[in-house]
Structure 1
Amino acid sequence: MLVADTFANAQEYAEKAHAIMAQRGIPAAPSNYTIWYDYVSGKNPSLTSAIDEIIQKDGLFSAEISKDLYEKFYLVEQQDEHIHEAGIKLQETLKHVVEQITVAGSDTENYGNKITDLATDLSDQDDSETLKKFVAEIVQETASITEKNKALQNQLQQSSKEINNLQENLEKVKIESLTDALTEIGNRKQFDLKLVEESKIATIEDTELCLLMMDIDHFKKFNDTYGHRVGDEVLKVVARHLKSAVKGQDTPARYGGEEFICLLPNTSIHDAESLANQVREKISKQVLKNKKTGQEFGRITLSIGVSKHVRGESLEGFVQRADEALYRAKDQGRNRVIKEII
């Protein structure tokens, strides 16, 4: 859970963010401030890594790069109305924080100038009444700046809480946007993002990357015979078995309709084929039934295609080879695993 920043931390992060932005000539737009506030606070490790990588290369942050960073880490699903609204709210809150800090800086500077002027005037005076008057002014100015700082502290603490709540909400919405609502595993969007990410890692680190493309055999029969509620339960059963069978680094997802897909980093095609058969066999042994009436709906079987990523190939080609292997499995009688022809 995110914890709201203290006043001291919020002020420190804000000052560091402003300093870096000024040093690199980055406009103090709310979206840019969002990026650099999170960068100096270390709240978003992925963002920090992305910025550090840019700094190591050439260190230049054009308007386009800043825009890309903001969209990637704060507006992943721009078309999603909730994320868009939350992003706007976050910008408004951060803009308010910037204004508060700017006012605080101005007030502090004015206070310093006022005290300096009073001290200068004081050196020329030696009667008690005038001294009392100067002391009273100093006390009044000090009380005023103290009250302003207290108000600023409260405002910044409240804004910090709002920012953290917004960040937490954005993360929840992001997760929801990448999750299939019915099966509660990844959706097509999540798979597409992980495919790009894992293929880059596999290429850079020279590791193996495999893919399982799965289709529920005769799925239409479940819907037509027993209704869509049973069909939905079939999808949930497959998703649960798939999720429990894979490792933490793997990405199981519902690809669409009755199709599922699973990305397997650091996995040979032999191990991928073995995993596919384990999933297929485990699911096929389970009889789907109505818990209340005991009515049996039959067994679920899968046809699965397996492919291995080839350096330099298009990602579309990688997925297509798994899809072609899947259709060969269906053509050869279903309820079987077929790996690509290498």
Structure 2
Amino acid sequence: MSTNAGGKKVQMMDAATMVLASMRKMGISGIPRNYELVYEALNSSNPALTRDFDALGSHPTQAALDAVGAKYFAHHHKKTVVEGAHDKITDELETMLRTLRKEQSSLESYTRLLGETYHRISAKSTSSSEILGGIIAMLSSATGDTMEQGKVAVQEMVERAVEMEQVKLELDEYKRIANTDPLTRLANRRAFDDALPEIYNSRREAMYHALIVCDIDHFKKFNDSFGHPVGDRVLGVVAAVMRSTLRKDVFIARTGGEEFAVILHGTSQDVTMEVAERIRAAIQKTPLRNQKSGMDYGPITVSVGVCMASDAENATDLYNKADIALYMAKNSGRNQVQIFSDTMAGDIDKNWLIYRK
């Protein structure tokens, strides 16, 4: 067995060495999609690919490589939303710059005409009527051209601005989708991890912030007893109750399987505890029934942990301490709210580590 494994390892190293040597010889950039293309072409697993690759010659361009790559490995050559938006923005900016350059050229011509008119006025050999006629003709022509070109430039700039605004909207929508939990429509863990550290942007204001973490009690029983669709329904009910209980500007996220988090700004410990208790009570009062059969799946309860931002050093410490308070709520009988205190640290044993997993 060991000899076999060793032989395969040497074989893989030889293949990698051959690919790298070929890429260096042909002047091919060392980017991931090129490695795959060259490896497969040299491996001869796809004769058509090998023929197309050989047809590129001894020093293929990146565009030629990408053309072959897109034909056989489309998954590496699809543009992402962000890449597409970047290309759009680049095109719009180039168009705007061209417009501005044309406008600058027009203004330079206008300035040149005014300078010529000034010199004609200064020339003693020119009669007053000629001067006046020349001024009117030249300024009328120059001003008219400049105004017309200015209108075109403004219109082009407006069109570019509208198109760039559309790109911004597309990017905003992409970010919203990427930061949203598809099941509950709340913010997801990625969005939570971005939002929590902002609490500590100002140490002075950190004392007025708080973190609440909630975990659905006996959630596994819903899945085991009634199936995952009912478990998903439980998550949806909890999310809906939290949304209706809290203000619209409060940050709520689903941070794990059955765990949720709430970030409160501009709050005190008393207010935070009131909010946490309001969430717990509202969820307990919400029935979970099958609308068609009338079956009652039983009450939903949550355990809640709270930590004030002033009691933690940073975002990681804040989350860990709120999690400790949540564990204490679970360990003390569930369906209750606990706030972190320094005395809890001594009460936590190795079982907390098991709970966190």
| TM-score normalised over the length of structure 2 | 0.63
Give 5+ residue unaligned stretches, structure 1. 1-79
Which residue matches 1:112? 111
Matched, 1:82 2:86: no
Give 1:196's aligned amino acid. P
Tell whether the 8 Å contact from 2:214 to 2:260 is kept in structure 1 after alignment: yes
Give 2:167's aligned amino acid. L
Relative distance call for 1:198 and 1:292 in structure 2 (3 A) is same
Higher RCO structure, 1 or 2 (CA under 8 Å, sep 6+): 1
Give 1:105's aligned amino acid. Q
Distance across 2 between alignment mates of 1:261 and 1:154: 48
Aligned-pair CA distance for 1:106: 1.4
Matches within 5 A, 1:154-303: 154-201=155-202, 203-205=203-205, 207-247=207-247, 250-303=250-303
Give 1:114's aligned amino acid. L
Distance across 1 between alignment mates of 2:143 and 2:133: 15
Relative distance call for 1:104 and 1:135 in structure 2 (3 A) is same
Give 1:284's aligned amino acid. Q
Aligned-pair CA distance for 1:113: 0.9
Distance across 2 between alignment mates of 1:316 and 1:210: 13
Distance across 2 between alignment mates of 1:130 and 1:340: 89
Relative distance call for 1:148 and 1:331 in structure 2 (3 A) is same
Give 2:297's aligned amino acid. F
Q: Deviations over 1:267-295 (max 9, x none)?
A: 33343233222211221122211223323
Aligned-pair CA distance for 1:163: 2.2
Which residue matches 2:24? none
Matched, 1:341 2:341: yes
Corresponding residue SS for 1:289: coil
Distance across 2 between alignment mates of 1:107 and 1:262: 57
Relative distance call for 1:224 and 1:137 in structure 2 (3 A) is same
Relative distance call for 1:311 and 1:100 in structure 2 (3 A) is farther
Specify the structure having the higher radius of gyration (Cα). Answer: 2
Corresponding residue SS for 1:299: coil
Residues paired across the two proteins, number? 262
Relative distance call for 1:225 and 1:88 in structure 2 (3 A) is farther
Give 5+ residue unaligned stretches, structure 2. 1-78, 343-357
Aligned-pair CA distance for 1:298: 2.2
Corresponding residue SS for 1:307: strand
Tell whether the 8 Å contact from 1:269 to 1:306 is kept in structure 2 after alignment: no
Tell whether the 8 Å contact from 2:199 to 2:315 is kept in structure 1 after alignment: no
**RMSD over aligned Cα, in angstroms?**
3.2
Q: Deviations over 1:252-272 (max 9, x none)?
A: 211121110111223333432
Give 1:242's aligned amino acid. M
Tell whether the 8 Å contact from 1:209 to 1:308 is kept in structure 2 after alignment: yes
Give 1:217's aligned amino acid. D
Corresponding residue SS for 2:195: helix
Aligned-pair CA distance for 1:332: 2.7
Aligned-pair CA distance for 1:341: 2.9
Tell whether the 8 Å contact from 2:209 to 2:268 is kept in structure 1 after alignment: yes
Q: Percent identity?
A: 33
Distance across 1 between alignment mates of 2:236 and 2:296: 17
Give 1:189's aligned amino acid. R
Which residue matches 1:314? 314
Distance across 2 between alignment mates of 1:214 and 1:184: 17
Distance across 2 between alignment mates of 1:278 and 1:131: 84
Aligned-pair CA distance for 1:83: 3.6
Give 2:175's aligned amino acid. K
